[in-house]
Amino acid sequence: MNRAYTIKIKMLYASSIRLFNKKLNIILMKKIVFLLVACTVLGSSIYSQKGSSCASADSVGSLPYTSTTLTTSSSNNIPANVCGDPDYGGDEYVFKYKPLVNQNVDLTTSNTGAGVALYVTKGCPSGGATCYAKDEEILGNPKLINLIFDIDTTYYIIVAANSYSVATSFVITITGTQIINIDGGIVSISEPVSTCGLNSETVAVQIMNYGKNALSNFNVAYKINNLAPVIEEVNQTIKSESILLYNFSTKADLSVAGTTYNITAYTEITNDGNRNNDTLKKTITNLISVDTIPYLQTFKSGNGGWVSQWDTSANPTDSWQLGIPAKSVINSATPGNKAWTTSLTGTNFTNEASYVLSPCFDFSSATNPYVYMEIFYEAGDGGMNLQYSVNGESWAILGQSGDPTWYNSPLSYSVQGWIGYSTEWVQVYHSLSTLAGLPKVQFRVYFAASDTSEGVAFDDFQITEGMLPTIIAPSVEENAVYPNPATDQVNIDIPLVQQIIVFDMLGNVTEIITGSALSDNGNKIDVSTYNPGVYILQIKTSTGDQNLKLVVK
């Protein structure tokens, strides 16, 4: 190999080395650039994780919204004094929400540390936002209730830690209900009410403005049964979340005594956003009047002019039924075979407040009236009482706990009545002396309970002039009057009987039987001609008197 060829080989080798190094440098530079870009992007990604800024705010799509695994440790680049308090300069978490409809919104947090604030801004807080609402709690768990969020407006919700706390974990719940601009409806049919002597009556309703805008110049209507509706224009203005009492100028004919009328009232508002709350229904009864005392209603032949109703027109249905009870405990009526009870076979309704309303009584000639009735109660958490009214509108509870043969609730209870469990039919009675001489008195058997149970029942309602003979407690002598109940004859196995006076439950004397007549008849009383019902035997003997209850079927 000559010298010239050797030099050429060396020059080619050196050129190859330089080319290789150049390519290696290019590759290394590309890798360095890639790593730098990756680090930059990664760092940006870490810094801009969800909730750390307006740009990466945690977007709330729809309500209700709840998150239980969040922390404010992602960022602290939101101005601490966005809502005026620089003390909350620790880390924060940012949400973004844009409602599709106008809403009432509630924001609540829980499980936070101490020193946490909750802010709501219109616009990004780092870009000149308007502070809309705030709650700063030293002990933590801030909340904001009943905020109005406007449609298509972006709201930023910030959970901010105190500058001394730096960061905190938290649970957040956001709920909302739609605000409707135009929305009105009937919330109550105030007048008329069920009573006696109804004729041409004013219909009064309460109209609620549920919407955001004021209401005026719209129609309101009512109709009785299936008659043509009465439509009138409301010219008054009803502000948002306000109620107007409206009296119809056209009166309703409710003049037929003993008749129940169905009243339907409703609004007719242009562009009403919610038609479900427009209409309300109520039943009104023109009650019969009772002019004579004594009075006894066994309900054997029907309701006798008594009607059941819910206490508020917002709930037009009650559980009261008239018939033969067939429940586990309340499984019978008194000898009349029918009774009023909260459902014949089931339970009362949840959160029920209802009553059975009596006819009107004329006590003008009464001097010492008493009320008697049979009751049965398995009331659970509820109770029953007897109320009276002298005008058909305002009501008062008759008597109180501690009165003999009356309520069993403690005197400390705010509402007196029969509570708990009677396990059987019990007769109760009370003086009506404070009502003597009044021309119009109504009664209602009132029941209320929050939970369900067999509830209550009542039967054999009677008004007497003076007290009936008192029935003694069960005794050996009482067992000597048999069979009881009876259909044809009753055996009296009591020695030295001088006289037996038989009273019906109105206090009328049905029969007087001397001791000799009883002996001549084999110590038996013939009851085959008695009407079915409850009687009191006043038995006089040489050793004393006693009163026993006899049931005739």
What is the per-residue pLDDT across 298-339, written as a single tens digit (0 to 9) for each? 898 899 999 998 886 555 678 999 999 999 999 988 766 799
| Per-residue confidence (pLDDT) for residue 50, from 0 to 100 | 80
The CATH number of the structural domain formed by 58-178 is: 2.60.120
**Domain 184-287 in CATH 3.40.190.10:** no
Would you list the DSSP string of 326-375? -SSSS----TTS-EEEE-SSS-PPTTEEEEEEEEEE--TT-SSEEEEEEE
Domain 476-552: which CATH number of 3.30.70, 2.60.40, 3.90.700, 3.10.20: 2.60.40
List 268's β-bridge partners, or say none.
Answer: 219
Dihedral angle at the C-alpha atoms of 252, 253, 254, 257, nearest 10 degrees?
170
How far does Cα 506 stand from its chain's mean position? 40
**Domain 288-467 in CATH 1.20.1260.10:** no
Residue with tokens 């109209």: 207
Identify which of 433, 453, 457 has the alpha carbon closest to the alpha carbon of residue 445: 457
The helix/strand/coil state of 411 is coil
| Per-residue confidence (pLDDT) for residue 49, from 0 to 100 | 63
Tokens standing for residue 139: 């002990």
List 357's β-bridge partners, or say none.
Answer: 307, 444
- Rg, C-alpha atoms of the chain: 41
| Per-residue confidence (pLDDT) for residue 336, from 0 to 100 | 61
How far apart CA 253 and CA 200 sit, in angstroms, is 5
Question: CB of 290 within 8 A of CB of 203?
Answer: no
Question: CB of 329 within 8 A of CB of 423?
Answer: yes
The helix/strand/coil state of 29 is helix
How far does Cα 77 stand from its chain's mean position? 48
| Per-residue confidence (pLDDT) for residue 69, from 0 to 100 | 83
Residues near 293 by Cβ (< 8 Å), separated by ≥ 6? Answer: 361, 363, 365, 366, 369, 463, 464, 465
How far apart CA 468 and CA 430 sit, in angstroms, is 11
Residues near 214 by Cβ (< 8 Å), separated by ≥ 6? Answer: 237, 238, 239, 240
How far does Cα 361 stand from its chain's mean position? 32
Burial class (CB in 10 A: 0-12, 13-18, 19+), 384: buried
| Per-residue confidence (pLDDT) for residue 548, from 0 to 100 | 82
Residues near 138 by Cβ (< 8 Å), separated by ≥ 6? Answer: 114, 115
| Per-residue confidence (pLDDT) for residue 29, from 0 to 100 | 47
Identify which of 550, 352, 341 has the alpha carbon closest to the alpha carbon of residue 451: 352
How far apart CA 158 and CA 49 sit, in angstroms, is 15
How far apart CA 246 and CA 236 sit, in angstroms, is 9
Question: CB of 329 within 8 A of CB of 457?
Answer: no
Using alpha carbons, list the distances in angstroms from residue 25 to 32, 36, 461.
10, 16, 110
Using the Cα atoms of residue 467, residue 473, residue 479 and residue 482 in order, give the sign of their dihedral: positive
Q: Is the peptide bond before 64 cis (omega within 30 degrees of 0)?
A: yes
Q: State pTM to two decimals.
A: 0.63
| Per-residue confidence (pLDDT) for residue 73, from 0 to 100 | 74
Overall size of the chain counted in residues: 553
Tokens standing for residue 68: 């239980």
Dihedral angle at the C-alpha atoms of 353, 190, 220, 201, nearest 10 degrees?
130
| Per-residue confidence (pLDDT) for residue 165, from 0 to 100 | 63
| Per-residue confidence (pLDDT) for residue 75, from 0 to 100 | 59
Q: Same topology for domains 58-178 and 288-467, yes or no?
A: yes
Each residue's pLDDT, cut to its tens digit, for the chain (553 residues) gives 454 444 444 444 444 445 444 444 444 444 433 333 333 333 433 344 688 888 888 999 999 999 988 888 755 666 656 776 666 766 889 999 999 988 999 999 999 988 898 999 998 877 778 899 999 998 999 999 999 998 889 999 999 888 776 688 999 999 998 888 899 999 999 999 999 999 999 999 999 999 989 999 999 999 999 999 999 999 999 999 999 999 999 999 999 999 999 999 999 999 998 999 999 999 999 999 999 888 989 898 899 999 998 886 555 678 999 999 999 999 988 766 799 999 999 999 998 999 999 999 999 999 999 999 999 999 999 999 999 999 988 999 999 988 989 999 988 887 899 999 998 999 999 999 999 999 999 999 999 999 999 999 999 999 998 887 655 444 445 578 889 888 999 998 888 888 888 888 777 778 888 888 888 888 889 999 998 888 888 888 877 777 788 888 8
Identify which of 348, 338, 345, 317 has the alpha carbon closest to the alpha carbon of residue 455: 348
Q: What are phi and psi of 242, to 5 degrees?
A: -120, 165
Residue 15, H or E segment: helix 3-47
Domain range annotation of the chain = 1-47, 58-178, 184-287, 288-467, 476-552
| Per-residue confidence (pLDDT) for residue 257, from 0 to 100 | 93
List 447's β-bridge partners, or say none.
Answer: 354, 384
Q: What are phi and psi of 341, to 5 degrees?
A: -150, 155
CA contacts within 13 A on the Cβ side of 39: 6
Using alpha carbons, list the distances in angstroms from residue 334 to 63, 337, 458.
56, 6, 9
